[in-house]
Structure 1
Amino acid sequence: MNPAAEITRGSHVRLHYTITLEDGTEADSSRGGEPLDFVLGDGTMLEGLEDFLLGMRAGQRAAYSVSPEQGFGYRDAEAVHVMPRSDFPAEMELAPGVIVAFTTPAGDEVPGTVTALDETQVTVDFNHPLAGHTLNFDVEILAVQA
């Protein structure tokens, strides 16, 4: 990879990142593990996150905030569904915080987080866990290839 190359759409990028929430809670990080390798624009990262990387070069580090509009959007009350407990296998362990995979009629798999339950119903939130949050994104560019 060329150390003088500047990140543009289609660049192969290797970076370390840390994402924190407004209150400083770490939501995700590659530090202490493998760096993230991707092609800018391939869908690995949200476009709102990618936009901040444009023009950066290997060796640079930056921190910026990503609004909900640029990130995972706002929470949508209509994405929270109350479902009959009988829709779930009897042996399935359900508790608040458990993530369950659901298959849409189109065959796509989507995760839902159990937020509440009782003997007859289960409340499942299909919002992305980072929806509604301003994300603080700290990146260190390790390598760039045009």
Structure 2
Amino acid sequence: MRVRKNRVVSIHFRLRLDSGEEVDTSRRRGPLTFLVGHGQIIPGLESELINMEVGDKKNVRVEPQDGYGLKNEALVQSVDREDIPNDIDLAVGAVLRGQSESGNIVEGMITALSEKNVILDFNHPLAGKALNFETKIIGIREATADEISHRHVH
């Protein structure tokens, strides 16, 4: 059986940046299982897995536009320190959670601090970065009708 749309696929993977830094791996928590063709994983990885079979291994490079997108400078914002609650420790690299005007939960990473302002980057942490995956297909099955209609694995 091959990886195709509306099949449930399980993979082991290791994700590294061009620097060699390991960003994520399935070995710590178990395989990644997803429904093919329903936007559950980044498109640049999913397209490279099509037609693979159980046991197949593949190294995949995903460019930013096919991964988490290009970095959007409009998502880097300066916020007055006085608008941030006093009980929050401010440090470069810390992630602050909040709510957007539309009610969605958003996370911004502090990229710079000054006496008056905090610079927050609301881009995905991997936006603008090429992603290097080592993958191995460990399971493929047909999705159930419920999984297809709900657009996720049960």
TM-score by length of 2: 0.87
- Count of aligned pairs: 142
Residues 79-119 of structure 1: CA deviation (Å, up to 9, x unaligned): 11000111111111111001111211111112110111133
Q: Equivalents in 1 of 2:49, 2:19: separation in Å?
A: 24
In structure 1, what residue type is equivalent to 2:65?
E
Residues 102-140 of structure 1: CA deviation (Å, up to 9, x unaligned): 211111112110111133211101111111111111111
- Per the alignment, residue 74 of structure 1 pairs with 70
- Per the alignment, residue 41 of structure 2 pairs with 45
1:1-146 to structure 2, matched below 5 A, reads 5-146=1-142
More helix by share: 2
Structure 2: runs of 5 or more not aligned: 143-154
Q: Equivalents in 2 of 1:52, 1:40: separation in Å?
A: 12
Q: Equivalents in 1 of 2:45, 2:100: separation in Å?
A: 27
Residue 35 of structure 1 deviates from its aligned partner by: 0.9
In structure 2, what residue type is equivalent to 1:19?
L
Spell out structure 1 runs of 4+ moving beyond 4 A: none
TM-score by length of 1: 0.91
Residue 43 of structure 1 deviates from its aligned partner by: 3.0
In structure 2, what residue type is equivalent to 1:99?
V
RMSD: 1.2
In structure 1, what residue type is equivalent to 2:84?
F
Q: Equivalents in 2 of 1:34, 1:86: separation in Å?
A: 43
Q: Equivalents in 2 of 1:115, 1:23: separation in Å?
A: 20
Q: Equivalents in 2 of 1:142, 1:100: separation in Å?
A: 36
Asked if the contact 2:45–2:60 (Cα under 8 Å) also holds between the matched residues in 1, the reply is: no
Residue 32 of structure 1 deviates from its aligned partner by: 3.7
